[in-house]
Amino acid sequence: MGTRPFDLARTRVTLFEALLRAREARGGKFKILEDHERKPLSYDDIVRAAFALGGKLDTQIKRRETAGIMLPTGAGCTVTFFALHAIGRTPAMLNFTAGAMNLRSACEAANVKKILTSRTFIKLAKLEALEAELSKFAKLIYLEDIRKSIDLGDKIAAVLKAMMPRAFSAKGSPDDTAVILFTSGSYGTPKGAVLSHANLVSNVEQGYSHVPFEPDWSFFSPLPMFHCFGLLGGVLLPLFTGHKTFLFPSPLAVKEIPKLVHDTGANVFFATDTFAQQYARNAADDDLKCIRLMVLGAERVKPETREMYQRRFGVELLEGYGATEASPLISVNIPGRNKHGTVGQFVPALEWRLEAVPGIEGGKRLFVRGPNVMRGYLDPTKPFGIDLLPQGWHDTGDVVDVDEDGYIRILGRVKRFAKIGGEMVSLNAVEGYAQTVWPDGTHAAVALPDSRKGERIILFTSHEGADTAALLDWCKANGASELAVPKRIVVIDAIPVLGTGKTDYVVLQRLAAEQYAEAKAA
């Protein structure tokens, strides 16, 4: 088992050049990519298909035009992504679960006038209403129509271009914009992160030099490609390092995914804690035993999830941490150096610093800077404008503690603290306490303004019979502040989640405000 040391010189290429470099290293005929349609693609297949599709898109998308991609995770989305790079266009990955209003603002901010999508996908995902809304301000280009227009001459041209790809692909700088990704929107309107080619290739190299991958391991990723974890971890990392990857269009198929992991014999698997729990519950005992490296991100890993995977499948869960703005990987635990309760150590070549936050003790605000950190956010007031980061430092908005060995413990986001009676209370901690008291449920805490104490905590839970008395007793018995006991506990069928698997706090905040307003009126 081993990795290659991080080499900054390897990051000075475009994404298309990184793909070609991997093709030369692994061999063009190596079957690198497969999806639910079970038709494996070699590097040669991907490059040829990218030139064939790119040749058609070249006339439809202007040179300085950002092209939206609204497709599920899979071979089609991957080929479309590289087709745009082959002709020097910038893709903006659109989150089709974000709703029409968020998508409209995303398209306006990214100057997206054309959206690449698929009729089959829109029908299967029941997105007809969204399609109608999008078509009011953007032209939808359907891949089925493009494929029909590709004739024998186009195919021959694509074969010839694939034989001399550097002569026919668009020239670009590693510092050019490679993709626009939108932040998850867990706490508000998604922002457009502008990532360069060098950012993404650097993060692949950082991950590959930090995590020990065996050369013959294969990947399985059901995460959406509009999310940085899915794009980098599931697609770019395996493609650029020569590891076969199996892409699945939705993380929600909790019965199907464990069987496919077993069928494909995948060794590396990416998920969130919420989905990991559901996969385990729906898996046969042998389904997930082939996994050698399972990385969970986007939310805290619960002790019950760890115990379940270790006991049933002999799989040690590794918790990692990232941000869209960092391409996304910032840190991750690795086998043999897995400190539970932390998100591991920083990846190589990443600078970090901590700043105190008034009222919060035991942790500080984390800032990061490095080759994987974005150029800046889209400035919606100017076409193609970028609000550059000050001196390249990104404020993660996370409150963390870094121990003497460099392991990071996340205490919460700055905006995930409530000020109650003059004291700062972590809403993440409140959720953790509820998880301990009611381990079979899912919990999410939000804060609302309170005229007497500044703010009040509302806890949403899927646990029937949850009440404040049980939580108060636990806090008293375990030395936790009684200020962390929610003013109200609301039992709901399921905690709402975004397409990425993260808790949708925007919906919960609105729900809490409505419920509290009703309670006041009553």
CA distance readout (Å), 454 to 425, 445, 521: 12, 16, 20
The three-class DSSP label of residue 247 is strand
Tokens of 87: 């002709």
Find out whether 18 and 240 touch, Cβ atoms under 8 Å. yes
For residue 287, is pLDDT > 70? yes
Cβ contact 52:72 at 8 Å: no
Tell whether the torsion through CA atoms of 221, 213, 348 and 310 is positive or negative: positive
- Residue-wise pLDDT tens digits, 354-387: 999 887 777 899 999 999 999 899 987 776 788 8
332 contacts: CB under 8 Å, gap ≥ 6:
207, 210, 211, 295, 318, 319, 320, 321, 343, 344, 347
Superfamily of domain 421-521: ANL, C-terminal domain (3.30.300.30)
- The total of other beta-carbon atoms located within 10 Å of residue 218's CB is 18
Q: What's the pLDDT tens digit per position in 431-470?
A: 888 888 898 888 988 888 877 777 888 889 988 888 888 8
User: Tokens standing for 93?
Assistant: 């990955």
Give the start-to-end residue ranges of the domains of the chain: 8-402, 421-521
List b or e across 21-54, with b for residues whose CB sees 16 or more CB atoms inside 10 angstroms: ebbeebebebebbbbbeeeebbbbbbbbbbbbbb
Q: Give the pLDDT band (50/70/90) at residue 195.
A: very high
Of all helices (H) and strands (E), which one includes residue 201?
A: helix 197-210
For domain 8-402, which CATH number applies: 3.40.50.12780, 1.20.1250.20, 3.40.50.300, 3.20.20.80?
3.40.50.12780
Number of other residues whose CB lies within 10 A of the CB of residue 221: 25
Task: Please determine, for residue 99, whether its predicted confidence score (pLDDT) is greater than 50.
Answer: yes
Residue in the block written with tokens 């694939």? 162
Q: How many CB atoms lie within 10 A of CB 139?
A: 13
Q: Could you tell me the pTM of the whole model?
A: 0.86
DSSP letter for 389, please.
Answer: P
Given a cut of 70, whether residue 1 has pLDDT beyond it is no
